[in-house]
Amino acid sequence: MGTSAASPSFAKMTMSFDANNQASKERFYNIMVSQIECSKNYHAPIGCDQYYFGNRGTGVIQSFNYDQPTSNQVSRLAGNLRTCIRREKEMCVIGYTPPDVDSEINGFAVNVNPAAPAIRGRMGCGYTATGPNSPVATAGFCTDSWVRIPQGTNNLGNAPYVLTAPPAFIACDRFCGKRLCNLDGGCSSSDHLTIYSKIRPFELQTEFAPITSAQPNRGYKLNYFQQPCN
């Protein structure tokens, strides 16, 4: 993939299998490797871990390890992930929504025990405002594992989102818990809301803390679609 003068002059991928904890699991893989010319319009922007394009701006985004072979599905990849979606022609808004809860109950399970009754939703970023420029750290949620939809709201991306009711968490665009919704502190509905963003380029940012046995986060499965410019 490189030249003889490059260092290294080759690319490699290392695969690690957890033989101690999952020795009984049969693992299979079939990976296609393709090289893409830099000038192509489907060349991923620099820094994108996942890249989606085409299909008239619609598709499905899943966190890594979302489709585990057992019922105890755990997103085991800790760290930051950047997912990019190409803006299609004459499109200015992108929306995200998980599958219906009735069909896939843990379609959005980030930083919460999927068996817990708490729904959560959009949360503050872990700060309370004591003055215009003097935030003070507090407990809060969405501080170690979250999905960030830049200036995401449920009103077609008319951001920034403004929190008008207590607690006085500084509003942000992180989402966590068992529901994707626009309320800071919990969702009023048993199902998800569609969250929109007008920020371009279209992208999601995800942070996953190391997973413990008490927090078997499945991750997320988001249906996305783009809408035309007004």
Q: What is the pTM for the complete model shown? A: 0.78
Distance CA 115, CA 170 (A): 28
Q: Which residue has the higher pLDDT, 139 or 215?
A: 215
Beta bridge partners of 123: none
Q: Which residue has the higher pLDDT, 63 or 188?
A: 63
Percent of the chain beyond pLDDT 90? 23
Beta bridge partners of 115: none
**pLDDT, position 112:** 67
For residue 196, tell me if it sits in a domain. yes
**pLDDT, position 136:** 44
- Tell me if 177 sits within 8 A of 119, measured CB to CB: yes
Where does the pLDDT of residue 167 fall: very low under 50, low under 70, confident under 90, or very high at 90 and above?
very low
Mean pLDDT, residues 113-138 taken together: 54
Q: Which two tokens stand for residue 36?
A: 């893409």
Q: Which two tokens stand for residue 205?
A: 């940012």
Q: Which of 19-23, 44-48, 152-156, 202-206 has the highest mean pLDDT?
A: 202-206
Instruction: Report the candidate in 227, 214, 3 with the shortest Cα–Cα distance to residue 114.
Output: 214
Domain of residue 225, CATH code: 2.60.120.290
For residue 35, tell me if it sits in a domain. no
Neighbours of 16 (CB within 10 A): 5
Distance CA 72, CA 76 (A): 12
- Tell me if 179 sits within 8 A of 187, measured CB to CB: yes
For residue 92, tell me if it sits in a domain. yes
- Domain range for 143: 48-230
For residue 3, tell me if it sits in a domain. no
Q: Is the pLDDT of residue 125 over 50?
A: yes
The label of the residue with tokens 């969702």 reads 187
For residue 43, tell me if it sits in a domain. no
Measure CA 210 to chain center: 16
Q: Output phi, psi for 175, to 5 deg.
A: -130, 140
For residue 31, tell me if it sits in a domain. no
3-class secondary-structure state, position 57: helix
Q: For residue range 37-91, list pLDDT tens digits in order.
A: 878 888 888 889 999 999 999 999 999 888 876 555 666 667 788 999 999 999 9
Q: Is the pLDDT of residue 18 over 50?
A: yes
For residue 219, tell me if it sits in a domain. yes
For residue 53, tell me if it sits in a domain. yes
Q: Is the pLDDT of residue 132 over 50?
A: no
Q: Into how many domains does the chain fold? A: 1
Mean pLDDT of the chain: 76
